[in-house]
Structure 1
């Protein structure tokens, strides 16, 4: 073999090695079908899932504070609901991870089983035994909905692209519809002499079981299971890339502050009504009306978000929510409380539904959506865990409403500061392909 031949063979081997290494690091691009029977069935299943159960905690807060756990403070009772919300968001991190790995159905089945078992367990709790409710309803139910939340939401991105925002808005409407159903069911059943607290919770568990069976049967993912063997520790290094994205950091920080006050009316509006002497029938409808208004808030903004851009809607919605919480201070009759319920339900629902398109617009790789949503909402859930108990502590047993209203009213306004922070981020400018532009009109337009 001549020198030239040897060189040629070596060069060929180097090319083969280079191609082999290149193949190892080249990411697999996931193609989104963007519609079809499986896509719409998945959306239907997502609408039937029961994360809306958390939105009915205001019913429990009122009943626990006045009767079932009356020996405990409003702040201590609020920890039950706030831990639910915290786990709903924080467990999205591992939930999103396993969804991205292709284990969607396993996560759905395990989470569904735990959700129903937790509700049944809470129905056996004894009066004034706070820890029993905390373990079953706070830890158990919170873990279940947290396991389900991000995978069931993120999987829509596997099926929809052009109509992704609309799909997520419709999915959110299912949450609001359930948030309308459960408060009515629970308020009626708990205070019915022939049913009572225990069977009210069990009936809600049976309804939940039926919805989850349908959801697990019709939902699907187009992302195959991945077998590259990455551990959670290795995945954590991958997540650190997210925190090099300045726009993503701004969004995550805003969500954390937002969640610390966003759930104040959801937890305390019915208690506000009963403490001001509003008749029981009207008071019982407050949470249902709030969640019912959220049904429209979750759908309507998403119908036009692809045209207006997510930032143009998030900012005014956040400012209005902050103003409505401040208005909470002055209301003391049925008309005022119902007005707050309708308006706040709509605009808070809009904010929650727009967070998913916001994170989607900040994500270029569809296979990262589950992890990015999980990390952001998980961090935001820490604010949701802290906020309601702090509000309860500020409220005190004397029901001094202005103090928690001021604390909670400031937090939605944090989103209003999100746009100028993002405007300073050169990485987002590059992402929108407008690095050379000097005007700010691009902030109110969707991603390309």
Structure 2
């Protein structure tokens, strides 16, 4: 009997389309993923790293161009910088979700570099407000969001570690920028120092433009107001925002005032210039190590531990500090403790957010935090002025609001874990 031959022309079933959003499709490594992480670290270096050195300018302006202005008035420059970096977050995040990171990097690089170039020409208070307080941070927001939102498209199981490595770029920027500024200003003057830093930032962002990309295609949504309100329907998101707002209110106060406080305590100008680099160098480890541990124990658990640690350091060491050794120890420990916040917060958000909406939710979160950044430093400056130049009230205020934030992070963790204690959360 003749064997039946298979029909070569039979219709074969189409291969099933793989969903790129499925957890199995996240590579957690590979050339493109590591290049994106490398470029994202440069984005954080140029954005949050720049923001981490605001204390250098608070100190420099107080003794030079703006010596006729009070500490509280000068603090408005740094506060506006923080506010304007995060305030446009919802629009920038929405744009990222719809179009990806490339346009944001181009737009952000232009405004950040242009603002620094204009800062190099500033003489009056209002000029510093416009150039350094408004123009430059408009670019910072775009650069920050472009780097931060692309990482979760490449990493899933190693997401905490990836965020930590990327956030370490901001710590490295916080080391390099203050050292460069403090050494270059006496050599080439304030104007050319700012231009040199701007050119360096431009070169690094060119690398980011070539390497930062999203693995997932954009899922455009119509620009409607309800899109920006949608995250607040999730009580877990609301709790994260409240916790972060309180913690962020005090976070930058020690960073902004540590040099001025140390000088008032008798430290030399030369040694005080190294406090911010010390703080930011230890923050590199504070970003990477807790971020990696968050993959093992959960980002909510890790955030609780590190936020309490940071607040206790402010009250137990920053408040009574009066010697060179005490200020150096405080800078090192606070840098490590506070650094974790930057890398763990995005990991918390990804636990409750669809990846295709991560840009918007990150932007909305930092939009809310912008108001804490706006008022934190001026309140601290007003406390110092009211206390006749003493810093005890400043440290108490920063420590207490950070403790409040840590308590709310604990409540957020319990809500996320459904009130279970010994679980991965």
TM-score > 0.5 by shorter chain = yes
Please tell me whether residue 362 in structure 1 is matched to residue 368 in structure 2: no
SS at match of 1:396: helix
- Match in the other structure for 1:203: 196
Q: Is 2:78 the counterpart of 1:81?
A: yes
Of the structure 1 ranges 409-418 and 301-310, higher mean CA displacement relative to structure 2 is found in: 409-418
Offset, 1:125: 0.6
Structure 1 residue 28 displacement after superposition: 9.2
Using the TM superposition, give the Cα deviation of residue 423 of structure 1 relative to its aligned residue in structure 2, in angstroms: 6.3
Aligned CA distance change for structure 1 residues 225 and 241 (closer, same or farther; 3 Å): closer
Shift of 1:255: 0.8
Structure 2 unaligned regions, length at least 5 = 1-18
Which of 367, 374, 381 pairs up with 2:370? Answer: 381
Change (3 A) 1:209 1:415: same
Q: What is aligned with 2:343?
A: 353
Match of 2:65 among 64, 68, 76: 68
2:215 to 219, 222, 234: 222
1:162–1:389 Cα change, 3 Å = same
Separation (CA, whole Å) in 1 of partners of 2:413 and 2:326: 38
Question: Which residue of 2 is the match for residue 405 of structure 1?
Answer: 395
What is the count of residue pairs matched by the alignment? 400
2:157 to 162, 186, 189: 162
Distance 1:166 1:404 in 2: 33
Q: TM-score, normalised by structure 1?
A: 0.85
Do 2:301 and 2:413's aligned partners in 1 also have CA atoms closer than 8 Å? Answer: no
Alignment of 1:250-399 (within 5 A): 250-326=239-315, 327-363=317-353, 365-396=354-385, 398-399=388-389
- The C-alpha deviation readout for 1:303-331, integer Å capped at 9, x for no partner, is 12111112222222212221222232211
Match of 1:37 in 2: 31
Summarize the alignment of residues 167-206 of structure 1 with structure 2, pairs less than 5 Å apart: 167-190=162-185, 192=186, 194-206=187-199
**Does the residue aligned with 2:346 lie in a helix, a strand or coil?**
helix
TM-score by length of 2: 0.90
Once the two structures are superposed, what CA deviation does each residue of 1:263-322 show, in whole Å capped at 9, x if it has no partner? Answer: 011100011112222112210000110011101000001112111112222222212221
In structure 1, what is the equivalent of residue 51 of structure 2?
A: 54
Indicate yes or no: 2:421 matched with 1:440: yes
1:421 alignment partner, one of 400, 411, 415: 411
Distance 1:439 1:356, change over 3 A: closer
Instruction: Specify the SS of the correspondent of 1:222.
Output: coil
Q: Is the 8 A contact 2:299 2:347 kept in 1?
A: yes
Which is worse superposed, 412-421 or 171-180?
412-421
Instruction: Output the CA distance in 1 between the equivalents of 2:189 and 2:36.
Output: 35
Q: Which residue of 1 aligns with 2:234?
A: 245
Q: Which string of whole-angstrom CA distances, capped at 9 and with x for unpartnered residues, describes residues 33-68 of structure 1?
A: 433211111111111120111111100000111222
- For the residues of structure 1 that align with 2:257 and 2:412, how far apart are their CA atoms? 33
For residues 409 and 379 of structure 2, the distance between their equivalents in structure 1, rounded to whole angstroms, comes to: 28
Deviations 1:165-210 (A, max 9, x none): 11110001111011100000001112x2x31111111111111111
Describe the shift of the 1:263–1:227 C-alpha distance in structure 2 as closer, same or farther (beyond 3 A). Answer: closer
Could you tell me how far apart the structure 2 residues matched to 1:240 and 1:270 are? 40
Is 1:102 paired with 2:102? no
Mapped to 1, the partners of 2:320 and 2:309 lie a distance apart of 16
In the alignment, structure 1 segments of 5+ residues that lack a partner are 1-26, 430-434
Q: Is the Cα contact below 8 Å between 1:56 and 1:182 reproduced in 2? A: yes
> 1:259, CA displacement in angstroms?
0.9
